[in-house]
Amino acid sequence: MAASATPPVPGGLVVVQPLRRKHCAGCRRGPLSLLVLEGGAPRCLDCVDLGHLVFLPRGDTALTRRAREESELWAVVVRFDRRRGRYERQGLLVEERALARAEERCLADAEARRLRRARDARRRAAEDERFAAAFAAEIVRLFPGCPAERAWAIAAHASARGSGRVGRSAAGRALTEGAVTSAVMAAVRHADTPYDRLLMSGVPRYEARRRIAATVAGVLRGWAGTAEVG
């Protein structure tokens, strides 16, 4: 397609961002940043009665759609892309009042989305709190000697949303004995043994776990009130 050809946009007016310096064939003003081709001749927006429109760049789909809906008169703005050999849309020309109304509608939507996100966040927080409470209750059931505040801390840590910890796994969500016990063992390993110091000193993980295994088992037996930890 030649760059001077009028770009086809079915059912709408077309305004061109010229690649070269152009002057209006009617009033001789120029160079023009926007023009309309009439019979191959460039015309400025004022000469074709579009001078009162304002430019809305492409990028915001919702705003563009609503501005077009609100505007009685609008035009597509295009520019010729030499590399692709075709005209590319750059935005719209719309009535200023239409753009203002479209912006108000988008702001109202943004506020609605903000309120919805806030409601969703509150709902998720309530769900997380209920689940953490259930997880803590299961810890106390399995390990009645575990202090209540410690059970809460373990449950909150293990079930933190997005953490990928055992409390967020399918087994954890089902409160299986194995998942709950794993969370308690991990908490004891990090808080009640020198496990972290061993890792920092370069001791391999499996060796570090072997060294502190007896301590972990002892704490869990004490909390469970049994001779052996299942």
Reduced 3-state DSSP string for the chain: CCCCCCCCCCCCEEEECCCCCCCCCCCCCCCCCCEEEECCEEECCCCCCCCCCEEEECCCHHHHHHHHHHCCCCEEEEEEECCCCEEEEEEEEECHHHHHHHHHHHHHHHHHHHHHHHHHHHHHHHHHHHHHHHHHHHHHHHCCCCCHHHHHHHHHHHCCCCCCCHHHCHHHHCCCHHHHHHHHHHHHHHHCCCHHHHHHCCCCHHHHHHHHHHHHHHHHHHHHCCCCCC
For the full predicted model, state whether its pTM sits above 0.85.
no
CB 36 within 8 A of CB 54: no
pLDDT in tens, 168-203: 788 878 889 999 999 999 999 999 999 999 999 999
What are the tokens at 227? 């001779």
> What is the pLDDT, as a whole number, of residue 1?
37
> Is residue 7 predicted with pLDDT exceeding 90?
no
> Is residue 57 predicted with pLDDT exceeding 50?
yes
Q: What is the pairing mode between strands 75-81 and 13-16?
A: parallel
pLDDT in tens, 29-43: 889 989 998 888 998
Alpha-carbon Rg for the chain in angstroms? 34
Mean pLDDT computed over 117-127: 86
Mean pLDDT computed over 12-39: 89
Distance CA 172, CA 169 (A): 5
Q: Which of 42-56, 143-157, 161-175 has the lowest mean pLDDT?
A: 161-175
pLDDT in tens, 84-117: 888 999 999 999 999 999 988 888 887 777 877 8
With the CA atoms of 71, 79, 88 and 105 taken in that order, what torsion angle do they form, in degrees rounded to the nearest 10?
A: -30
